[in-house]
């Protein structure tokens, strides 16, 4: 494991990361409340022939955070980090919140795993909790935020709670729709955190969706499907590289990929 000091908008961040293997570069971005080790556990054994970059996003794992952020700022910090190590990933794999960050990086190949970004109507109890917190905050009792905080920030700082509030309701519909990446979408069929309907919507609006595949499991379904996801990703990369080597245009490559079909 290594650490890299970078500066973004005049603020210094310490980014923890690990690099495994050699070859074309693939960046892995974990979801909210997780860390790079989760992604390495899922995929570390299945991407032979690739240079795998596992990163702790700011505020998670061993990476620092100095102020509350929005997803665009997370993407900016990761861009600075990649530049600092001279990396230009061909592919980015993002789970949940990491999928939003990955989509903003717009790599040649984007792999979304139960990605966040499609708004979901909150439960009635959650809406009541939010209203109560806003009322208490207006009365000067904002310091009671932990009483109202989601389990997603249990044990985390007020900075991370503010960050969660910033990112949880972001609507990435237009980002997914306009993303230039060739996109593979895998989803937990029993996912209750980001429902399967969200994955279906992304697959329908993304202009370059190559594959949408529900797989058995919950929000962390990919922990038991790493080999298949890796095989599909490697196959897409190989097809794209073959097309480029043969001098084919982007349009010709797209046709051969059978957009929105099977690899």
What pTM, to 2 d.p., does this model score? 0.86
Contact by Cβ (8 Å): 188, 219:
yes
Residue 109 has pLDDT above 90, yes or no: yes
Structure-token match 């985390």, residue found: 156
Residue-wise pLDDT tens digits, 175-234: 999 999 999 999 999 999 999 999 999 999 998 999 999 999 999 999 999 999 999 999
Name the nearest CA neighbour of 114 among 129, 99, 130: 99
DSSP letter string over the chain? -EEEEEEETTEEEEEEEEEESSSEEEEEE--TT--HHHHHHHHTTT-TTEEEEEEPPTTSTT----S---HHHHHHHHHHHHHHTT---SEEEEETHHHHHHHHH--SEEEEES---S--PPPHHHHHHHHHHHHHHHTT-GGGHHHH--GGGTT--HHHHHHHHHHTT---HHHHHH--SEEEEEEETT-SSS-HHHHHHHHHH-TTEEEEEEESSSTTGGGG-HHHHHHHHHHHHHHHHHHHHTT--HHHHHHHTTTTS--
Residue-wise pLDDT tens digits, 28-42: 999 999 999 999 999
Cα distances (Å, whole numbers) of residue 67 to 5, 11, 166: 16, 9, 12
User: How sure is the predictor about 245, in pLDDT bands with cuts at 50, 70 and 90?
Assistant: confident
Structure-token match 């929105």, residue found: 260
Q: Name the more confident of 201 and 143.
A: 201
Q: Name the more confident of 130 and 226.
A: 226
Residue 121 has pLDDT above 80, yes or no: no
Mean pLDDT of 3-13: 96
Specify which of 113-122, 149-158, 182-191 reaches the highest per-range mean pLDDT. 182-191
């Amino acid at each position: 494991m290594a650490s890299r000091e970078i500066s973004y908008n005049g603020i210094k961040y310490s980014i923890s990361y690990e690099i495994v293997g050699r070859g074309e570069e693939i960046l892995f971005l974990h979801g909210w409340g997780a860390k790079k080790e989760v992604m390495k556990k899922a995929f570390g054994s299945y991407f032979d022939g690739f240079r795998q970059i596992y990163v702790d996003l700011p505020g998670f794992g061993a990476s620092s955070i100095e102020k509350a952020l929005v997803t665009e700022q997370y993407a900016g910090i990761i861009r600075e980090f990649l530049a600092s190590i001279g990396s230009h990933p061909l592919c980015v794999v993002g789970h949940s919140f990491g999928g939003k960050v990955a989509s903003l990086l717009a790599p040649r190949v984007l792999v979304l795993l139960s990605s966040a970004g499609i708004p979901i109507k909150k439960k009635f109890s959650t809406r009541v909790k939010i209203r109560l917190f806003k009322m208490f905050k207006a009365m000067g009792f904002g310091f009671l935020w932990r009483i109202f905080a989601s389990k997603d920030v249990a044990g985390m700082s007020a900075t991370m709670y503010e960050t969660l509030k910033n990112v949880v309701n972001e609507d990435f519909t237009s980002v997914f729709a306009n993303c230039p990446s060739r996109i593979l979408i895998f989803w937990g069929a029993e996912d209750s955190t980001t429902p399967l309907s969200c994955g279906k919507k992304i697959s329908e609006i993304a202009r370059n969706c190559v594959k949408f595949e529900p797989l058995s499991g919950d929000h962390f379904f990919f922990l038991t499907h790493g080999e298949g996801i890796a095989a599909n990703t490697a196959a897409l990369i190989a097809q794209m590289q073959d097309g480029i080597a043969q001098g084919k245009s982007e349009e010709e490559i797209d046709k051969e990929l059978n957009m929105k079909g099977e690899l």
